[in-house]
Structure 1
């Protein structure tokens, strides 16, 4: 067998593989002899079918199969040993005069080569790294929310502003029959509020869903309908009031503190606000970090210049997709995927140049941290190491979970690298200002 490579240009090459009869004949003979032992052909006992008959019936198919296996293994080995970094997969060149009846065969494959380029993490223009703080307004809202959540319900006769109402929404048209509890501040518009205000338990209110609530997503819960149906829904519904309650905010005392945190760890309003601030800013840090990762990704893609074997990749997309594509469709798919491909190449280079790796022990610890966070959300704040090890082992036995967690851990390592090496400009903002600046 002989393999040669011809470079067309820096991004394209052709590999030629020459296979002689000596390369495949022994393997084909072995397979045909195995067929002969197992073949069931009328008129012959099993294992006594003439080899010539077996060759006539199965020879061509076995030859094609064995040559293709040999070809694929040889090509893979060649690319690995020669350390040729290809994009997509090698594409076989069509040969109009190819003859499977010949003794020797020659195959050609087009290669799209990965480009050579340099990545500069630290650029001249700084990337904004947001530091989101929980300001006094946020802390006041959080404290009020906690006091309401743990407050005392006081039954009332009539609905007034700020009350909590429980009742059932019904609609024959949409087959809705759903019980819901909500506060009056969810209701939108003076006309709707007037219908609720002064109502009593047992009253039936006739309402229109359009412009009924401040946030259309609340309709999903009120009516128990899906997300798409809730948007722009315009139907008549009846609401039967069953309970009216006023929630008296809980006092800021030790009883409340111990409901929120381990007993005795918070003993004053100042300490409560400090803990709320700490917890909130941990959550904000995750959002700020994700924003930073997105911005640096965008920066690297925009400022790391290199060419791609575009025509090869379009051809590869056209010929290897699940469904046949026209040249125009393949071009459109390439345009959609080009940016992602560029970042994959950039990220891979950064990982290799900075020797970023994910070890099994790191992955296990990362999985245990993820598990602890999940358990804490359900009130299990102090799981044993044995319990964590058992759950982590179960998760890491799943290949998809290992892939997902490995990608998350590598993203974390990349983020740490960017924080260390990138040109960053820290900007302190409140969460409200962060949302306005970043998403609006």
Structure 2
């Protein structure tokens, strides 16, 4: 066996494997021997068919089996002999079928990690926009909590009409150009009026209707609609009020806090304030982290392995919502959809390689104690009376696999960059 290596680029090598006629002949003999033992050919007892009959009966399928055997038995040993460290399965390029009386060769593309040395990750100048956490934000959260804890009851009286503040149950059919239009059709959906949960044109028509009443009207498709080609077109809607309920909103007092398992209203407010502060800190960190990765990406230009990008694209599809597994699979295999995600996936991959190099350069490590604390922080609620026990932490660590450790390593790398950076706060106007 002879192996030739060609550098395609900094993250890909092409390896060409050349095999002697003797290697090929031995592979054919091995396949024929196996086939002869199991072949069931009319007119011959099992294992007794002549070689000539075997060759004629199986034809090109033998050459295909031989090609597969030659690749499996020689490609990875050739890669190892050439001290290539692949990061994904090699991709075979177009190859011809082997012939018994000739030498044989094939080639494959092998992805490798780029040889990079990250520069400029110390001394960065960073800034972030201040996120104010005041009474206004606290009051908004309390209002949301109030409504979430509210209860509903049927509005009494046949003459009651739908109005702002009512929770109405609606059914709607819609047509566009005389055809059913599912995006604007629904059945028995509860909607609180006056909270911008419906298109304004629809909500305006609903206000004033009584239970059992309906109305037909036209609505223009808004600019925010997902299919831009339909924006501005007119949809005919028929909406019926199925039920009208009113919201019973609890007061902001100790009783509300106790219903939530807390001691008193002051404790509830403190928990919400702590949560808002944590969100603000995370928002600040997200801004700084984004700036760090953007600057380091600009300072360090290198290729990223295509196989890593493809893996990231697959993970991006996993993060998306699809109506079914079939729809997800179809999207994953759609070349146009994958093309749309390629650039952001390349950037994600580059960010991962940058942080990995910083981790290696700075010998950053994660202890078991670090990992336990990190997982506790991920799953704990601020101010909660009970914190997750050790069994739950171990279960979560097991389910996350290496993801938790990798996440903490990347966090420590960002922390190191922040510790060595000049950080400025942009005051809120």
TM-score, normalised to structure 1, is 0.62
For residues 363 and 50 of structure 1, the distance between their equivalents in structure 2, rounded to whole angstroms, comes to 65
Give 2:192's match in structure 1, choosing from 162, 182, 185: 182
In structure 1, what is the equivalent of residue 415 of structure 2?
419
1:250, CA displacement in angstroms? 0.8
Give 1:299's match in structure 2, choosing from 292, 295, 298: 295
State the SS of the aligned residue for 2:48: coil
In structure 1, what is the equivalent of residue 70 of structure 2?
70
For residues 288 and 53 of structure 1, the distance between their equivalents in structure 2, rounded to whole angstroms, comes to 76
In structure 2, what is the equivalent of residue 163 of structure 1?
165
1:332, CA displacement in angstroms? 10
In structure 1, what is the equivalent of residue 323 of structure 2?
none
In structure 1, what is the equivalent of residue 319 of structure 2?
none
In structure 1, what is the equivalent of residue 276 of structure 2?
280
* Residue pair 1:121, 1:418 contacting (<8 A) in 2 also: no
Change in CA separation of 1:27 and 1:141 when aligned onto 2, cut-off 3 Å: same
* Residue pair 1:159, 1:244 contacting (<8 A) in 2 also: no
Change in CA separation of 1:276 and 1:391 when aligned onto 2, cut-off 3 Å: closer
Change in CA separation of 1:68 and 1:250 when aligned onto 2, cut-off 3 Å: same
In structure 2, what is the equivalent of residue 134 of structure 1?
133
State the SS of the aligned residue for 2:18: strand
**CA offsets 1:276-312 (integer angstroms, 9 cap, x no match):** 11122334444544444444333332221236799xx
State the SS of the aligned residue for 1:279: helix
For residues 238 and 92 of structure 1, the distance between their equivalents in structure 2, rounded to whole angstroms, comes to 59
For residues 364 and 17 of structure 2, the distance between their equivalents in structure 1, rounded to whole angstroms, comes to 36
In structure 2, what is the equivalent of residue 3 of structure 1?
3
Unpaired runs of at least 5, structure 2 = 310-331
In structure 1, what is the equivalent of residue 251 of structure 2?
250
For residues 64 and 368 of structure 1, the distance between their equivalents in structure 2, rounded to whole angstroms, comes to 54
Deviates more, 1:39-48 or 1:81-90: 81-90
State the SS of the aligned residue for 2:41: coil
In structure 2, what is the equivalent of residue 35 of structure 1?
35
What aligned pairs does 1:15-54 form with structure 2 within 5 A after superposition?
A: 15-23=15-23, 25-54=25-54
TM-score, normalised to structure 2, is 0.64
**CA offsets 1:113-150 (integer angstroms, 9 cap, x no match):** 75433213625542335664522210122223334444
**CA offsets 1:247-266 (integer angstroms, 9 cap, x no match):** 4551422x22212234x3xx
For residues 174 and 64 of structure 2, the distance between their equivalents in structure 1, rounded to whole angstroms, comes to 66
1:193, CA displacement in angstroms? 6.3
In structure 2, what is the equivalent of residue 117 of structure 1?
116
Q: Count how many residue pairs are aligned between Structure 1 and Structure 2.
A: 384
For residues 165 and 341 of structure 1, the distance between their equivalents in structure 2, rounded to whole angstroms, comes to 47
In structure 1, what is the equivalent of residue 325 of structure 2?
none
For residues 337 and 152 of structure 1, the distance between their equivalents in structure 2, rounded to whole angstroms, comes to 45
State the SS of the aligned residue for 1:18: strand
Unpaired runs of at least 5, structure 1 = 218-225, 314-321, 397-401, 434-440
* Residue pair 1:165, 1:184 contacting (<8 A) in 2 also: no
**CA offsets 1:297-351 (integer angstroms, 9 cap, x no match):** 33332221236799xx9xxxxxxxx99x9xxxx9999878654554454355445
In structure 1, what is the equivalent of residue 313 of structure 2?
none
For residues 257 and 300 of structure 1, the distance between their equivalents in structure 2, rounded to whole angstroms, comes to 47
For residues 127 and 93 of structure 1, the distance between their equivalents in structure 2, rounded to whole angstroms, comes to 49
